[in-house]
Amino acid sequence: MSKVLILNGSPRVNGNTSIAIREMENVFRNSGVEVTTMQIGNKDIRGCIACNQCSEIGKCVFDDIVNELAPLFEAADGLVIASPVYYASANGSLYSFLDRLFYAGSCFAFKPAAAVASARRAGTTATLDSMNKYFTISQMPVVSSQYWNMVHGNSPEEVEQDLEGLQVMRTVGKNMAWLLHCIEAGKAAGITTPEPEQRLRTNFIR
């Protein structure tokens, strides 16, 4: 059975972002996909300091929730990152978590991923763009819907009235479940992931 890990970047339990996540959770379970949701937006998470110690010890030098949840990422087949919108960007705790996890981790390639944003009104597309960059630098297929992955409302009750937004959440959940099943079928048929080339690094100093 495929597994999806959902990160809730909101500091509020059962807040607006949780309403969007709930729609996806139901779809995953009904599609035979195991789902685990972790709330990290209310955690005290320090940012990455680019010390590069993770390359030597195999994990972040700051031993906190980032290292605690890293095994869940390694075991997951798909990833969903959901966040409220603050000043046209995601919650700072979520960014600190993702910076350190993606910098220290190496188990992301070819795992489908989706970003979800929740806002009263605006800033959602900028938030989605920034969260999607974690996926696209890590060779992760980005899962989309029939509209951008967002819901709107100033309270959970208002988000529940955003029928289009909730449908978007269900659709992205179905699309991810479908893609995970396709990947499972491909593995069973002997289809392997692309052979990586040796990594090249250049700069623009002349």
**Distance from the Cα of residue 180 to its chain's centroid:** 15
Q: Would you state the pLDDT for residue 136?
A: 97
Q: Would you state the pLDDT for residue 105?
A: 82
Q: Would you state the pLDDT for residue 201?
A: 86
Helix 65-75, helix 92-104: angle, nearest 10: 60
Residues β-bridged to residue 150: 117
Helix (H) or strand (E) holding 83: strand 78-84
Alpha-carbon distance of 133 to 141, in angstroms, equals: 11
Identify whether the C-beta of residue 100 lies closer than 8 Å to the C-beta of residue 66.
yes
Which whole-number Å values give the CA distances from 108 to 78, 79, 136, 138, in the listed order?
A: 9, 9, 10, 6
Q: Would you state the pLDDT for residue 71?
A: 93
pLDDT along the chain (206 residues), means of 10: 97 96 98 97 94 93 94 95 96 96 90 98 97 97 98 97 98 98 97 92 80
Q: Would you state the pLDDT for residue 206?
A: 62
Concatenating the DSSP letter of every residue in 97-160 gives HHHHHHHH----TT--EEEEEEESSS-HHHHHHHHHHHHHTTTPPBP--SS-SEEE-SSHHHHT
Residues β-bridged to residue 115: 81
Q: Would you state the pLDDT for residue 76?
A: 97
What tokens does 109 get?
A: 């390639």
Helix 92-104, helix 124-136: angle, nearest 10: 10
Nearest CA among 39, 4, 11, 9 for reference residue 25:
4
